[in-house]
């Protein structure tokens, strides 16, 4: 998710004009993101799904650039955050939803478009939650799958299916993937953001080897391997999130209304000499 551009507004009372000043370059990058999302919708409606998928990839590049430019020029602000979220909803929410329905889920009828609507709605909720929690969540982790990554999974799935010459229309797996991506976006699962990884600093040699290995694997079959990497990122976060949820459930204390466990030291025994009852509670 891209960070934000800037705005500086001034207003005067008495019906005078409202002057708004914004930084042009970061906002142009965000507009490029919006253009690519709109272009992807047009191409999906024309059944040019390959162009639509590549347009989503380019939109993700613009989404990354506007945040980097905003930080480099120190031009972050509320205006940039809101504009960025609106553009992200079009490029990574509406566009992938329409692409999925036109490409694969149309044969399912109402179930297909409802699943796509669920994807778009959960993407919008994910963006809204991110905006209100931007200053309180942990910077090194995302809460829920980021919507650009969900859109990347959709786009890369199109590229992978075409490269493998698989039939997408009416594919039940793609329907299930759409629904799962929607729920994972609004989940509380933690996904590593890698913002703490500073490539400008010196790192162990194994990091370079790992990077080279990833490049080689992707280069062997880019369309398929990008889908594997993106989908693996989503699956791993969900799996670790489920395991953590299971541990938290086991740690929940028993209810106060549940019967207490009986221990030997709390048993009431009869005094052999007096015949009275006494509690032998050990300190």
For residue 246, name the pLDDT band (cuts at 50, 70, 90): low
Cα separation, 238 vs 231, whole angstroms: 11
How many DSSP H helices and E strands does the chain contain? 9, 6
Least confident of 34-38, 122-126, 249-253: 249-253
Confidence of residue 206 (pLDDT cuts 50, 70, 90): confident
Task: Report pLDDT for 45.
Answer: 96
Q: With 80 as the cut, is the pLDDT of residue 254 above it?
A: no
Mean pLDDT of 97-126: 96
pLDDT at 43: 96
The pTM for the full model equals: 0.77
Give pLDDT, residue 137: 66
Residue 69: the pLDDT is 80
Amino acid 9: pLDDT: 46
Q: Residues 123, 115: contact at Cβ < 8 Å?
A: no
Radius of gyration of the chain (CA): 27
More confident residue, 218 or 175: 175
Q: How far apart are CA 51 and CA 47, in angstroms?
A: 9
Token representation of residue 141: 């982790």
Please determine, for residue 14, whether its predicted confidence score (pLDDT) is greater than 90. no
Residue 21's pLDDT is 64
- Segment 37-52 shows an average pLDDT of 96
CA dist 13 and 172 (Å) reads 58
The DSSP string of 130-196 is HHHTTTTS-TTEEES--HHHHHHHHHHHHHHHHHHT---TT-HHHHHHHHHHHHHHTS--EEE--TT
Give me the CATH code for the 17-197+204-255 domain, please.
1.20.120.1760
**pLDDT of res. 143:** 86
Domain range summary for the chain, segments of one domain joined by +? 17-197+204-255
Q: Is the pLDDT of residue 220 over 90?
A: no
CA neighbor of 184 nearest in space, from 231, 223, 218:
231
Range in 48-62, 69-83, 159-173, 182-196 the model is least confident about: 69-83
Q: Model confidence at 131, in pLDDT bands (50, 70, 90)?
A: confident
Tens of pLDDT, residues 46-74? 999 999 999 999 999 999 888 778 777 77
**Average confidence (pLDDT) over 249-254:** 55
Q: Are 160 and 223 in contact (CB under 8 A)?
A: yes
- C-alpha distances in angstroms, 73 versus 28, 31, 85, 145, 217? 14, 18, 20, 28, 35
């Amino acid at each position: 998710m891209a960070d934000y551009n800037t705005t500086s507004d001034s207003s005067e009372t008495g019906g005078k004009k409202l002057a708004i000043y914004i930084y042009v370059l970061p906002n142009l990058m965000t507009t490029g993101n919006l253009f690519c999302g709109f272009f992807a919708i047009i191409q999906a409606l024309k059944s040019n799904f390959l162009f639509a998928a590549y347009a989503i990839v380019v939109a993700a590049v613009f989404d990354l650039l506007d945040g980097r430019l905003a930080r480099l020029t120190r031009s972050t602000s509320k205006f940039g955050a809101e504009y960025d979220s609106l553009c992200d909803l079009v490029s990574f929410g509406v566009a992938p939803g329409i692409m999925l329905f036109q490409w694969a889920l149309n044969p399912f009828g109402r179930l297909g478009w409802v699943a796509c609507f669920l994807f778009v709605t959960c993407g919008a909720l994910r963006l809204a939650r991110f905006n209100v929690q931007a200053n309180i969540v942990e910077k090194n982790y995302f809460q829920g799958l980021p919507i650009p990554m969900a859109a990347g999974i959709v786009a890369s799935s199109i590229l992978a299916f075409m490269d493998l010459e698989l039939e997408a229309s009416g594919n039940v797996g793609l329907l299930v993937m759409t629904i799962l991506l929607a729920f994972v976006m609004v989940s509380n699962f933690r996904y590593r953001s890698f913002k703490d990884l500073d490539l400008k600093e010196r790192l162990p040699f194994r990091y370079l080897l790992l990077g080279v290995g990833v490049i080689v694997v992707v280069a062997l079959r880019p369309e398929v391997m990008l889908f594997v990497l993106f989908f693996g990122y989503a699956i791993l976060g969900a799996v670790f999130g489920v395991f953590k949820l299971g541990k938290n459930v086991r740690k929940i204390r028993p209810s106060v209304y549940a019967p207490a466990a009986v221990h030997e030291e709390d048993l009431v025994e009869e005094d052999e000499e007096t015949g009275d009852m006494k509690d032998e509670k050990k300190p």
